[in-house]
Structure 1
Amino acid sequence: MARRTRPISWIKAARKAFETFPRDAQDEYLRALTIAAEGERADIVKP
């Protein structure tokens, strides 16, 4: 079964702020957002 991942929508100011983060942090956060879009919870998220 293929996963249906919802696209991530950005508010312009949030996207601009996100792009100032270090590249490693961006990668980690994007991974967590993708997991959330698939209906799961990433291990870096607080309960």
Structure 2
Amino acid sequence: MKAYLLLDGTLPPIDRIATDRPFYSGKHKKHGMNLQIITHPSGRLL
């Protein structure tokens, strides 16, 4: 039996001040939250 899943992630921006370093992404150079979604290949959320 084989199982296939799709994983996608994005960084939605949020309003934060410079002192909130845990929410700062050096890669994107902005504050944001890590959002990851797993779906079935048909598009249904798991």
Q: TM-score range by the shorter chain?
A: under 0.3
TM-score under structure 1 normalisation? 0.26
Tell me the TM-score normalized by structure 2: 0.26
More helix by share: 1
Instruction: Name whichever structure is richer in strand by fraction.
Output: 2
Instruction: Pick the structure with greater CA Rg.
Output: 2
